[in-house]
Amino acid sequence: MTWSPPTPQPAAFAGPRRIVIAGGGTAGWMTAAALARTLGAVAEITLVESEEIGTIGVGESTIPPLVAYNRILGIDEAEFMRATQATFKLGISFENWRVAGESYFHSFGGTGRDHWSAGFQHFWLHALTQGYDVPYGEHCLELKAAEAARFAHLPDDTMNYAYQLDSARYAAFLRTMAEADGTTRVEGRIAAVELDTVSGDIAALQLADGRRIAGDLFIDCTGFRALLIEGALHAGYDDWTHWLPCDGAIAIQTGSVRAPLPYTRAIAHDAGWQWRIPLQHRQGNGIVYCSAYLDHDAALQRLLDTVEGDKLVRPNPIRFRTGARRRQWHRNCVAVGLSGGFMEPLESTSIHLIQRAILRIARMLPAGRVSARDIAEFNEQQLLDMEQIRDFLILHYKATDRRDSAFWRHCAAMEVPDTLAHRIALFRETGRVFRKNEELFAENSWVQVMMGQGILPQSYHPVAAKLRKDELEHLLRTVRESVARTVAALPAHGDYVARYCGAQQPVAA
């Protein structure tokens, strides 16, 4: 008896033909651009936004997955960077975090050469016991290139990078692309969300002028307001401020005063931290603070006293609660961006979480009735992403030797999630870090931040001790020399940006 494969029966697409995106900004237009390019004429995509409602517009610093996201959409990198006045980013400089006056660098990519059984940190740790005194970061290409303010695209993408960009310009760039691919933009303020009286799903958006925008699947990109997922469907919110106590931020843009650096700065102060993000045409600045230890007026004054360059806009105050929506896909509504939760911008993850949600929507788009299993899987994956990022952020606050203010004493003393406590204890005892479930931050990110915050392992993998002292010295020396040669051959970052995607003449150093 032979097996005969079933003959597929042609059928019309019965999934959500009408996809309605509520809200524009980065989240809305990233969603529209991706779905319009992916689905083509299979679905009708409508985006509703109002010019009366501003956007947060703070997410200017990104991480490497955005490079892949833009490539998936077929975006020409130089064109995109020119349109968004973007620069390249090799990592983040953390200043005053472990103790005031010291800094460390969280770079993208890897450090040194791993063995299949153990990461490079184990060989470096063993070398320390042999009298080696070269810092761990000296073996990292991205870190040394950042310190030298150099950059270029290298063969086989051996230099890992992200972008520092103008998020409002990025939204406008994606809007042009999405509309060219068939997205319909509707100008109007959402006055009410109409629910189906039988199913409880969202049936339509009611606009202030009386228009009704009906749909099958709704994407909530309304930011902190979460008009659909929370306002209409009451999905619930888990507050994480007991672990991440900062609850306020103020952003301001200033003119450039020097050539742009290929990294973002995160500068801790006595009740939070400040950011500096260099673009081609300006610098993004901001202060993040905990209102229990620093009030808004004092935070604003501190920001204004420390920014460089002419102030280009009025300060933009932002209040937030770090946490996650309990159900980010509920009924026929999916939250994307701030409507789904908020991770403070310490590790530049806001745009990444938008991207992850969009890709999951595209992969799980139903061909017919929305599957409850799809919804459960989406929610589990999205929450796991946010919990892993949450733990990584908490690490920066918890692992500190600072005791110079009430804020830092609170952070050092607070209890942390069991998942993070385990990671810290494992690394401290063994030097090991394990990446789980394709989480965002790889082993080297955890190693750099944990050691940068003062956690030095008490032991290392025995495979490192197999090397004779001369073999170990040769390994470390060849890594350092390779990094140094590559960095020396790179052009200045500002010059490379000007040639590759310059939207204006570079500022003299």
Whose tokens are 């994307």? That residue is 336
Cβ(236)–Cβ(326) below 8 Å: yes
Residues with Cβ < 8 Å from 10, sequence gap 6 or more?
Answer: none
Cβ(40)–Cβ(182) below 8 Å: yes
SS3 for 8-65, per residue?
A: CCCCCCCCCCEEEEECCHHHHHHHHHHHHHHHHHHCEEEEEECCCCCCCCCCCECCCH
311 catalytically annotated: no
- Taking residue 426's Cβ as centre, other Cβ atoms within 10 Å add up to 14
Q: Dihedral angle at the C-alpha atoms of 183, 186, 187, 188, nearest 10 degrees? A: -140
341: left (phi over 0), alpha (psi -120 to 50) or beta: left
Cβ(53)–Cβ(225) below 8 Å: no
454: left (phi over 0), alpha (psi -120 to 50) or beta: left
Cβ(160)–Cβ(108) below 8 Å: yes
Share of the chain residues as helix, strand and coil, in percent rounded to the nearest 5: 40, 20, 40
Measure the N-to-C terminal CA separation of the chain; round to a whole number of Å. Answer: 78
Residue type, 213: I
- Three-state DSSP class for 418? helix
Dump strand ranges (E) for 215-294.
217-220, 237-239, 248-255, 264-269, 272-278, 282-289
Residues with Cβ < 8 Å from 236, sequence gap 6 or more?
Answer: 230, 325, 326, 327
Cβ(396)–Cβ(449) below 8 Å: yes
DSSP single-letter state for residue 307: -
- The tokens describing 436, both together, are 């789980």
Question: Rounded to whole angstroms, how far apart are CA atoms 62 and 279?
Answer: 12
DSSP single-letter state for residue 74: T
Q: Which of 89, 144, 436, 466 is catalytic?
A: 89
Question: Rounded to whole angstroms, how far apart are CA atoms 231 and 224?
Answer: 11
Question: Rounded to whole angstroms, how far apart are CA atoms 454 and 132?
Answer: 19
Residue type, 485: R
Instruction: List, by residue number, the catalytic residues.
Output: 89
